[in-house]
Amino acid sequence: MSASNVVNATGEAAVEGVNQFVKLLKDFNVIGFALGVMIGNNAAELANSFIDGIIMPTLGPALKRVSGKNMTVNVGGLTFHLEKFFEALMKFFAMALVIFVLLQVGVQMTKPVTWVSVRSVADGVSL
């Protein structure tokens, strides 16, 4: 086997491997999934900055008044610190409120006027 035959065989194998990889990306929609993950991460970052920068400062005085107290609970030999839990709970409710308002204001979903009904089925097809 000559060197040119080895190079040609290696090149063909590489092209076949790349073609299989591209087929995998297309079949499993990997690119769309990756884009969705990136957009989701950016949306989460935007929502967190909105809550941390706008919502939480308005709730800050009430939260400081509550967290100024001793937010620990002793059960047996265990001590539970509830400050972080209540802060996360407040963030959750703020996020739920923001999502609710956006859905009410921004997204106008309507029910379809008529539903599609199947009246006949081709021979050999079962539903």
pLDDT in the model for residue 1: 64
| Unique residue bearing structure tokens 């995998």 | 24
Could you tell me which residue, 10 or 107, shows the higher pLDDT?
Answer: 10
Structure tokens at 114: 């008529």
Instruction: Give yes or no for residue 38 having a pLDDT over 90.
Output: yes
Q: How confident is the model at residue 71 (pLDDT cuts 50, 70, 90)?
A: confident
The residue ranges of every structural domain in the chain are 3-105
CB 95 within 8 A of CB 52: no
Using CA atoms, how far apart are residues 105 and 122, in angstroms rounded to an integer?
44
Assigned CATH for 3-105: 1.10.1200
Quote the pLDDT of residue 13: 84
Of 110 and 49, the structure prediction assigns the larger pLDDT to 49
Dist CA 100 CA 106 (whole Å): 10
Position 94 scores a pLDDT of 85
CB 63 within 8 Å of CB 90: yes
In this prediction the pTM is 0.51
Name the nearest CA neighbour of 51 among 82, 87, 22. 87
